[in-house]
Structure 1
Amino acid sequence: MPDVFGQSPTGLAVIIFAALAGGIVRGFSGFGTALIFLPLSTPYLGPFGALIALTCMDVFGPLPNLRRAWVDVDKRDLVRLVVGCALLLPVGLSILTRVQPEVFRYAVSLVTLFMLVVLISGLRYNGAVRRNMVTAIGAAAGFLGGVAGIPGPAVILFYMSRPLPVAVVRATILLFLLAFDFLIFGYLAAFGQLTGSTVGLGLALAVPNLVGNWLGGWMFQPARERVYRVIAYAVIAAAALSGLPLWG
């Protein structure tokens, strides 16, 4: 069987599964596409290939849940997060061009596992939230998004540790990550990293990712916060561990 998008049948099957699973978790929790997709796809696509494919498909994936999220989100905080992200994202991408693919894979998995440990520990932030603090969180997310492909941890940690309704947390993370997709696509183009085959693969993956997002959104029930957290944590842990270069 000939390769498709430069991938063997096995590699393509893993990548499609990662797109579908990432979409389900994203639709259900508001985050998780990168945390699922990057650890599983990077061994086949490489760091920049995985980032490009992720960005292309992820623009379409959240569409079924945008209207619901836009109602729940704090729009001023969302703008501050995006501004901060735009400032440090190119710095992270510049560093990524200077590291080996194995280093990228370790960074993705270890940052993901660290985030998971902190979330499970039940850390909560009850102090005052200032505007510059929100912008700084966005900047940290932009840096992590550039250097490791995962913008979510800083924002997820911050919002899931605050005493906010789960619907607000989900909406903020979902919309911020969508904005990040547009930002990183522009920066990747400026860095000369876009290729036709990888963009084409990303657009094709939008189909299973969109289906996954729809399924995840259908499964989401704000009243079942405990179930929401447990399932999201379990899937993230499995993806992070599977993405470690230790397994080949």
Structure 2
Amino acid sequence: MSDIIPIGMTGFVVIFVTLLCAYIIFGIAGFGTALVASPMLALFIPIAKIVPLLALMDLFAALINVSRDGHNADRAELRRLVPVMILGSLVGAAILLTTRPEVLLPALGIFVTGYALYSLSGVKPQRTFTPQAAIPLGTIGGIFSALFGSGGFIYAIYLSGRLPNKESMRITQTTLISLSTLIRVVMFVFAGVYADTSLLWLALFLAPGMLIGVTVGRRITLNISKTQFLKFINVMILASGITLIVRFLL
């Protein structure tokens, strides 16, 4: 693993703790790993390794949550979102091959930030979406998942305006993330990314932190109210929007 992280045990401990915190967030919200972990991981791991590492770990984290609570997922919403998510992923891949996707960051960042601030303001806390909103939001989520490995907050915007039950929203969100990351992991497999065994060893080393994190996050979710859950989701959406804007500016 020295070719990935050449700094010794201290670096591994920092990364382990970072991933533990990131997967507590994931266990609560069903997304947000890259938002929390990427800035710290970038100090120790080449950026090209971060997305495939987190994709692999997100897939297993999501599968763990789905295996526990999959019966609570809203299948009607999954049927609406999954086809357009796949379509969006294909569009995102095409954009990635033909243009500079960074130009899309500020527009989405401003939209997401504005939406989160509006939701947190309490002006209209009981917002709802029609089923047709799945088409644009699911497609956009798929596009940004393919481009930047982070589209979960878009699905969260839609699901928070559709599902009244916080547990149903969390596990539906997690199911979408598992499907999205599966697509990315398969792409990385065919690209030969995981032929780098040091990356797989690193994921194995970090797995206990991921397992503890998703378990703690799940328990927190079960013990908070829907209002607290939605506020947490909107704070994560706000952080995602700000991160997109900063990413473009830097």
Q: Could you tell me how far 1:158 is from its partner in structure 2?
A: 0.9
1:116-170 residue CA offsets vs partner (Å, 9 max, x unmatched): 435424565435314xx42443221110111121121221111113362212211
d(CA) in 2 for partners of 1:217, 1:56:
20
Counterpart amino acid of residue 26 in structure 2: R
Matched, 1:225 2:226: yes
Q: Could you tell me how far 1:235 is from its partner in structure 2?
A: 6.3
Alignment of 1:45-194 (within 5 A): 45-93=45-93, 95-96=95-96, 110=109, 113=113, 116-117=116-117, 119-121=119-121, 125-130=127-132, 133-162=133-162, 164-194=164-194
**Quick one: structure 1 residues 136 and 195, their matched pair in 2 at CA, closer, same or farther if it must change by over 3 Å?**
farther
The total of aligned residue pairs comes to: 242
Matched, 1:213 2:176: no
d(CA) in 2 for partners of 1:93, 1:165:
33
> Residue 140 of structure 1 contacts residue 154 of structure 1 at CA under 8 Å; is this kept in 2?
yes
d(CA) in 2 for partners of 1:30, 1:119:
19
> Residue 119 of structure 1 contacts residue 157 of structure 1 at CA under 8 Å; is this kept in 2?
no
Q: Could you tell me how far 1:54 is from its partner in structure 2?
A: 0.5
Aligned twin of 2:27: 27
Aligned twin of 1:200: 201
Counterpart amino acid of residue 153 in structure 1: F
Counterpart amino acid of residue 38 in structure 2: L
Counterpart amino acid of residue 84 in structure 1: V
Aligned-residue Cα RMSD (Å) equals 3.8
Select between 207-216 and 25-34 the one with higher mean Cα deviation.
25-34
**Quick one: structure 1 residues 110 and 43, their matched pair in 2 at CA, closer, same or farther if it must change by over 3 Å?**
farther
Q: Could you tell me how far 1:185 is from its partner in structure 2?
A: 0.8
**Quick one: structure 1 residues 146 and 99, their matched pair in 2 at CA, closer, same or farther if it must change by over 3 Å?**
same
Select between 196-205 and 119-128 the one with higher mean Cα deviation.
119-128
Select between 160-169 and 6-15 the one with higher mean Cα deviation.
6-15
> Residue 89 of structure 1 contacts residue 145 of structure 1 at CA under 8 Å; is this kept in 2?
yes
> Residue 109 of structure 2 contacts residue 241 of structure 2 at CA under 8 Å; is this kept in 1?
yes
Identity of aligned residues (%): 21
**Quick one: structure 1 residues 183 and 245, their matched pair in 2 at CA, closer, same or farther if it must change by over 3 Å?**
closer
> Residue 152 of structure 1 contacts residue 173 of structure 1 at CA under 8 Å; is this kept in 2?
yes
Counterpart amino acid of residue 8 in structure 1: I
Aligned twin of 2:7: 8
**Quick one: structure 1 residues 242 and 89, their matched pair in 2 at CA, closer, same or farther if it must change by over 3 Å?**
closer
Q: Could you tell me how far 1:91 is from its partner in structure 2?
A: 3.6
Q: TM-score, normalised by structure 2?
A: 0.75
> Residue 61 of structure 2 contacts residue 214 of structure 2 at CA under 8 Å; is this kept in 1?
yes
Q: Could you tell me how far 1:222 is from its partner in structure 2?
A: 5.9
**Quick one: structure 1 residues 110 and 94, their matched pair in 2 at CA, closer, same or farther if it must change by over 3 Å?**
same
d(CA) in 1 for partners of 2:241, 2:130:
32
Aligned twin of 1:41: 41
